[in-house]
Amino acid sequence: MIEFKKVSKVYGDGTTALKDITLSVKKGEFLFLVGPSGSGKSTFIKLIIREIYATSGSILVAGRNICNLKTNRIPQLRRNIGCVFQDFKLLPNKTIFENVAFALEVIGKSGYVIKVQVPQVLQLVGLHNKMKSYPYQLSGGEQQRVSIARAFVNRPPVLLADEPTGNLDPVTSDGIMKLLSRISLVGTTVIMATHNRSVVNSMRRRVVELERGEIVRDQKRGVYGS
């Protein structure tokens, strides 16, 4: 589903964030990206949604090289990749329903599709009874579930999560992880960057460890530390 071939990223100020990364992620795979701050996890994720360019190498998403993608094709790429962040990025002046619906609205889906799909996905994350609430009325874990619902409402084949449990307590994190693994079970490729040791250890999924921009470990059913 996602293939990195000898990808390097050097930022404008000269820091090398990623060095010669070659990695392949299969469809439906669940992959943890671990490593200390500054090891290149976020850069990895930003490269996949073409927020930044690779300095060299090529990145294939669903067989398509996204490095030479024209600017006006980027929206199409992003519609196939759901994104979840540590800070949720919910719109405070919109209700839960509207927040999720917004993702469909801006890609031009009809009102009918929105009315059907949004309650469905909110049911999936267990928040269908809070559709009319505003983000500030929800707990952190609930807010993160809304943001997952928003990322997944369009049924993208790939879901990227950058520290989704970074702001949450262990029990809540557990709930989020269960949700993500359910999403991966239906065939979605999930890539999750995290510092969270217990989350990684409890899941026993593929673990890729980065250090100073290089892959130092790639284990099929790994744990956080080696």
Partner 1 sequence: MIRPKYFFGETFSGLKRNFLMCFTAITTVAITLFIVGLFSIVVYDIQSVMSSIERQVELAVYLEDNISEELKEYIGNEIKSWDETGEVKYISKEKAMEKFKEQMEGSSILKEIQGNPLPASFEIRLTDSKKVDQVALRFLDRDGNYIKGVDEVVYGKSYVSKLFSITAVIGTITFLIIIVLVLSTIVLIFNTIRLSIHARRKEVEVMKLVGATNWFVRTPFLFEGFFEGFAGSVISVVALYFMSNFLIIKGERAIVDTMHIKELAVLGSSNAIIYIYAAILVAGGLIGILSSGFALKRYLKV
Residues lying near partner 1 in the complex (CB under 8 A) are found at 49, 71-72, 74-80, 83, 89, 91-92, 102-103, 105-108, 150-151, 154
Alpha carbon of residue 34 to chain centroid: 14
Nearer to partner 1, 150 or 206 (CB): 150
Nearer to partner 1, 105 or 218 (CB): 105
Q: How far is the CB of 87 from partner 1 (least distance, A)?
A: 10
Residue 198 sits at φ, ψ, to 5 deg, of -65, -35
Residue 120 sits at φ, ψ, to 5 deg, of -60, -50
Q: How far is the CB of 220 from partner 1 (least distance, A)?
A: 31
Nearer to partner 1, 39 or 147 (CB): 147
Q: How far is the CB of 91 from partner 1 (least distance, A)?
A: 6
Q: How far is the CB of 86 from partner 1 (least distance, A)?
A: 14
Nearer to partner 1, 106 or 216 (CB): 106
Q: How far is the CB of 143 from partner 1 (least distance, A)?
A: 14
Nearer to partner 1, 8 or 167 (CB): 167
